[in-house]
Structure formats: C-alpha cells, structure tokens
Amino acid sequence: MYFSMLLYLSNLGFHLCPFPPENREDMLSSKSNRLTEALEEANKLFSGVSCAREAALDAQFLVLASNLGKEKANELHSEMAAFDSLVFAEDLSDPPVPKQRIERQKKMTGEEGIRAMPAQLKKMEESHQEATEKEVERILGLLQTHFKNDPETPISFFDLVIDPNSFARTVENIFHVSFIIRDGLARLKLDDDKLPIIGKI
C-alpha cells in the first residue's frame, strides 16, 4: 500500500521533497486538475493505510497539497485584480453597512385610530377578550368549588397554574389567576415554606 501511494504520487509529480519547478508550474496552472486528482486518489488510498509510516506519508502529502492549493488560490484573478487573502479577511471583519431607516406612518390618535381599525380586527379582539373572561370564570369556579368543600385548605399556586406539558398554557394560567387576585376574589400569600398559595378571602 505504501509503495503504491509513493508510486502514484510520484507519477503525478508529487515528491516528498519540494516540487520540482516543472511539476510545480503544472500543479499551479488554473487549467490543470492534477491537484484535485491527486487529492481524490490520496483520499481513496487513505482507506487502506495500515501503519504509522503510511499515515505520516499521507499527512506530509496533505501539507504539500494544501500549500499548493494556497498558492493556486493566491494566483487566481477576480475581476482583473489579484486575489489577496489578507484584504479578503479584512473585508470579512469589517462591520456590515447599516440599513437605511424606513419612515413609518405616524400613529393615528383618538377617534381616527378607532375608526381606522378594521372590523375583522375588532371582532378578533372581542373574541379574545371573551375567551379570557370565560377562562377566568372557569378558574374562579374551580377555586369556589374547592373553598366551598374545604374552606380552610389553601391551594398551591404552582399546582393550580403549572401545565407540565405546555409553557404557554402555564403563562396563560398565571395571567388568568392574576385577574382573580386583582379583583379580590382570592388571596395570594406565602405558606410556612415560603411557597405561594391561594386562599379564600
């Protein structure tokens, strides 16, 4: 395996010493695919590497090939200007050009804004408000039923609001319970373990 790799690389013009000038020019030519072919063949041969010497040979080849690839990239011309890797890297590190600000319409005030609101949006807002009211009433009903059956036992706030399967639902529950507490229909306090509980007023 080792010798077939040496032979193949040697036939392509790769030697384990720096490239002879005639092979180097051929490898660096933009019209030549010899570097790509050599990398593909080395990739195939690497699967059969079985000893440290062959792996070292492969590593040495990759160093030589990457140096040639770098030189080949430096000789590329883009829009009739030589490719400069340092300038390219500096361009990448420059901050992005700020976007132009778009002037927004001024907000309508007072009745103009109310009249301009589409009817569909009003209906959606009303249905959302109705849904919130219904959910607050449902939770209040649960609390009232609990306190009717056992008026002395408070409910753990966390047990009431947390939905272990839905963070969004937990946030909604906290929102709905806050209306009940705000309106004075239940009381939020801390128990002996400093955990929040909901008690009867």
Q: What is the pLDDT of residue 25?
A: 72
Q: What is the pLDDT of residue 63?
A: 81
- Based on the domain organization, do 132 and 176 belong to the same domain? yes
Contact 180, 140 (CB under 8 A): yes
The residues, any chain, with a CB within 8 Å of residue 38's CB and separated by 6 or more, are 9, 12, 14, 61, 65
- Based on the domain organization, do 85 and 130 belong to the same domain? no
- Based on the domain organization, do 6 and 88 belong to the same domain? yes
Decide if 25 is inside a domain.
yes
By C-alpha distance, which of 82, 84, 98, 100 is closest to 30?
Answer: 82
Decide if 113 is inside a domain.
no
- Based on the domain organization, do 80 and 27 belong to the same domain? yes
- Based on the domain organization, do 149 and 80 belong to the same domain? no
The helix/strand/coil state of 96 is coil
Q: What is the pLDDT of residue 97?
A: 65
- Based on the domain organization, do 127 and 75 belong to the same domain? no
Decide if 107 is inside a domain.
no
- Domain ends where: 73, 93, 113? 93
The domain of 189 spans: 121-199
Q: What is the pLDDT of residue 79?
A: 42
CATH number (domain holding residue 168)? 1.10.10.580
- Based on the domain organization, do 13 and 67 belong to the same domain? yes
- Based on the domain organization, do 13 and 88 belong to the same domain? yes
- Domain ends where: 51, 76, 93? 93
pTM value surpassing 0.85: no
Q: Which helix (H) or strand (E) holds 190?
A: strand 187-190
Sign of CA dihedral 123, 124, 130, 133: negative
- Based on the domain organization, do 33 and 89 belong to the same domain? yes
Give the residue ranges of the chain where pLDDT is below 70.
Answer: 1-24, 76-85, 87-100, 102-121
Decide if 54 is inside a domain.
yes
Q: What is the pLDDT of residues 18-65, one digit of tens each?
A: 445 556 677 777 777 877 887 788 788 777 777 787 777 778 878 887
Number of domains in the chain: 2
Q: What is the pLDDT of residue 133?
A: 87
Q: What is the pLDDT of residue 81?
A: 59
CA–CA distance, 180 with 157 (Å, rounded to integer): 12
